[in-house]
Structures are given as C-alpha cells and as structure tokens.
Amino acid sequence: MTAPKKLFIKTYGCQMNVYDSERMVEALGEQGYVETKTAEDADMILLNTCHIREKAAEKVYSELGRLKPLKALNPNLKIGVAGCVAQAEGEEIMRRQPAVDLVVGPQSYHRLPQMEAKTREGSKALDTDFPEEDKFEHLKSRPKAKRAPAAFLTVQEGCDKFCAFCVVPYTRGAEVSRPAAQLLDEARNLVGRGVRELTLLGQNVNAYHGGMTLAALIRELAKIDGLERIRYTTSHPNDMGDDLIAAHGEIEKLMPYLHLPVQSGSDHILKRMNRSHTAESYLRLIEKIRAARPDIVMSGDFIVGFPEESDADFEATMELVRQVRYGYAYSFKYSTRPGTPAAERAQVDPAVADARLQRLQGLIFEQQQEIQQGMVGRELSVLVEKPGRNPGQMVGKSEYLHAVHIDEANAAIGDIARVGIVGAQRNSLTAREI
C-alpha cells in the first residue's frame, strides 16, 4: 500500500467556505488524501479564498508567494486556489503566480478529483464553470467519521439581489436551493456522527425554496432526534417571511440569535445600494421578530464610506444602531470591487471613512458589552465544544452564541450543560454548572 497523500487546506472568508473546505477534504479523501495541519509536509495545498473585500483578495497572492518555495523542497507538491478569488480571477491567478497548478471555482468542487489527477500528470487544471449538474449530489460522500458537535450545512447558495457593492452574485452565481430531502438526509448523517447543532448556510438563506420554505425546513429538521439546536445565516430583510418569524416563537430548537444585515441606516444610501428596503421597514421588521421572540439577540453587518455617503447619511446609521441594540455587529469600510455598479461612483475620502468606522465600531462595542454584561446572573444552556485553557475547564456556546467558559466542568464534549453565568469578559462569559 502506498502512503496516503497529504492535503493542507487553508480557509478564508465566510462560513460557507468552511463548509466547502470540509466537502473538498472528503472528495479528495476518496483520492487517497488525508488532511494535514501544516503546509510543509503537504502534497497538495489548497487555498479556499474570499473576494468580498480587496484586502481579502490580496492576502491570497501574498500567501501564494510564501508557499512557492515549498515546491523546491517537495517536487510532488501541487498548489491550488479554490473559492471566490478563483471564480473571479480564473486564469489570471496562474499568470500572476505560475506556481499555481489548479484553479477551481465554488460551483466545480465536485470535479476536484479529476482536476487533481490532471495536475499529477503535469498539466494545469482550471475550472470556473457554472455547471448544470448538482454539485452537492456529486459531493454526497457518506463518511462515518465522528464530527464536532456544531456543524454547518449549506442549504442555499448564490444571490440574485445584486447589492451595488457586492461580488457574491458574480462569484457564487445565481440563487440555487438544495432539495429539502437531500438536506434532511445529510442532517441525519451528521447527527449520527455526533452533531448536536446545525447552522444552515446560504448567502441568502431565508430565500430558501428547495420544495419548501426555510421555516418549513427548520420545522422538519427540528423533528430529528439528537439534533438539539438550529441556526441559520445570512438573511436578507426582504425575505424574512411571517412563517419564519413565527418559527422563532414556536420552535424550541431554533436558537434566539439572528444575523440580519442592514448595511446602512440612510434611506438614500440604501437606495443607492439597491437594497430595496428602508431603515424604517427594517426597524419594524425587528419589532415583529422581537414580538415573536423577545429575548432574541440581533446581529448585523454595516458598510461605512459607501460612495456618496454624507455625514448625515452616516449619522442615520448611528441612529439605527442605537435603536436596534445589537448583540453583535460587523462593520466594514467600503471596498471597491471591480465589476460592481458602485465601483464607478464618486468615492468617499478614505480618512473620513476611517473616522466613521471607528465611531460606529465604538458604539457597536458598547452595545455588545452591555448585552454580554446582561447575561451575568442568568441561567443558560451551553453546547460544550472543547476543553478550555485551564485544567477542568470546558468551552462552548450559549443559545445566544456567546462563547462560555465553564470552570470545574462535569459536562463532556457534545453535552448541553445548564449553567449559571458568573462573569463577562470582552469576548466571552464564565459560568458554573448548575
């Protein structure tokens, strides 16, 4: 028997890339690969990349430059680029970095085994098609290996919304939902392998329509014995249907946390972003969600310095944040993405955008801390995921997605522990089991 080939995969960007990387490891596993945690002993290095902002894309080229010398040490080493940079830049990647052997876009991962074989014959392999066949049908390996208690499951991919700043419709393609039966099957497989919490993924997850709505899919998933928690991300305000809102009040396994990006609090900017909702309609929506589930923790995404954003537009964003009170929020300085409509418009002075970002992040941080502090003294449930740094300590997530450190824990990995929260740090809570 020949020794297994080693695969090192590095993942950038969103949670969907994390899910895709797992699929790629499984697909190449059938070609005799085992995963390694170091690039130095790998026979294949794959970078699963992100194109969402300029910095994310540039990181890939500097990483490729660092990896190139490894080829002199291991003549069998092949280097591949997957993900959204692969989709957006294609062959250009091999031109800029000739050490790259393989470029594969997100819709072609099921073709990776054949592509790998091609590189072993000494050829370059490139595939950035949007094929007709169902990628997931082909990636449906059924491994039995044990899994961590919290897992991702992609239910929907791509986007038809075309926000003026965003590359996703170009890199991930048109909106496609996976059939519900296929998802329930995969969910049962994952639960059989130790998974207790599933996060349903999609760039527009609440637009899911694979034979049923997202709310109906969640209701079906909730019937699976052993699956204890369900989450979903990322949602668009316009697809937040009444049945999904109701589900938050009715389905116990659906966790009280919702990521619902709004991007800006200014109606003028929202219009220029092609968001087709207003600040007011977003606030009313959150009222409805909170009526269904009063304790829900809200999370969001914001872009500051979008072309034409005035001081007044930015103040409207600050005001919206004050009204929502976020438990988490991610804010970014606008980054010009070639090929998107906003790239052609008058850009905001970068120093002004920086100052706005700092103020927004300051406000978000205050809100985050307030909500975390508010957890002290409460009884929560924690899905235990791994041992902590201190002896006897375990770490997991609360219903609200806060990281929780349990001291002197009896609970094991995969257990859902009832705890009392005794303290709040910057990024986590500390707790005692009850």
What whole-number distance in Å separates Cα of residue 333 and Cα of residue 346?
15
Report the residue number, 171 or 233, with the smaller CB distance to ligand SF4.
171
Please report whether residue 335 would count as binding ligand 5AD according to CB under 6 A: yes
Phi first, then psi: what are they for 212, rounded to 5°?
-155, 170
Q: Strand, coil or helix: what is 292?
A: helix
User: Residues 52-59: contacts with CB within 8 Å, 24+ apart?
Assistant: 52/13, 52/14, 52/84, 52/166, 52/167, 52/168, 52/335, 52/337, 53/332, 53/335, 53/337, 54/335, 54/336, 54/337, 55/335, 56/12, 56/13, 56/85, 57/85, 57/88, 57/89, 59/12
Which residues from 186-225 bind ligand 5AD, rule CB under 6 A? Answer: none
Residue 395 DSSP class? E
Please report whether residue 177 would count as binding ligand SF4 according to CB under 6 A: no
Report the residue number, 51 or 293, with the smaller CB distance to ligand SF4.
51
With CB under 5 to 8 Å by kind, the binding choice for 9 among ligand 5AD, ligand SF4, none is none
Please report whether residue 52 would count as binding ligand SF4 according to CB under 6 A: yes
What whole-number distance in Å separates Cα of residue 372 and Cα of residue 430?
11
CB of 337 to ligand SF4, least distance (A): 9
Please report whether residue 48 would count as binding ligand 5AD according to CB under 6 A: no
With CB under 5 to 8 Å by kind, the binding choice for 263 among ligand SF4, ligand 5AD, none is ligand 5AD
Judged by CB under 6 A, the residue of 230, 245, 303, 324 near ligand 5AD is 303
Task: Determine contact, residues 80/100, Cβ cutoff 8 Å.
Answer: yes
| Closest of 15, 27, 283, 274 to residue 139, by C-alpha | 27
Please report whether residue 165 would count as binding ligand 5AD according to CB under 6 A: yes
Stretch that binds ligand SF4, among 13-21, 292-300, 322-330, 392-400 (CB under 6 A): 13-21
In the shown chain, the binding pattern of residues 134 to 173 toward ligand SF4, with x for contact by CB under 6 A and - for none, equals ---------------------------------xx--xx-
With CB under 5 to 8 Å by kind, the binding choice for 80 among ligand 5AD, ligand SF4, none is none
Please report whether residue 52 would count as binding ligand 5AD according to CB under 6 A: yes
50 assigned to a ligand binding site: yes
355 assigned to a ligand binding site: no
Which residues from 101-160 bind ligand 5AD, rule CB under 6 A? Answer: none
Judged by CB under 6 A, the residue of 178, 337, 356, 405 near ligand 5AD is 337
Give how far the C-alpha of residue 388 lies from the chain's centroid of Cα atoms, to the nearest Å. 24
| Closest of 238, 245, 321 to residue 281, by C-alpha | 238
Q: What is the residue type of 275?
A: R
175 assigned to a ligand binding site: no
How far the first Cα of the chain sits from its last, in Å, is 52
Report the residue number, 36 or 203, with the smaller CB distance to ligand 5AD.
203
Residue 100 DSSP class? -
Q: Strand, coil or helix: what is 159?
A: coil
What whole-number distance in Å separates Cα of residue 279 and Cα of residue 266?
7
Q: Which positions lie near ligand 5AD, rule CB under 6 A?
A: 52-53, 165-166, 261, 263, 301, 303, 332, 334-335, 337
Q: Which positions lie near ligand SF4, rule CB under 6 A?
A: 13-14, 16-17, 50-52, 83-84, 167-168, 171-172, 203
Q: What residues are designated binding site for [4Fe-4S] cluster?
A: 14, 50, 84, 159, 163, 166
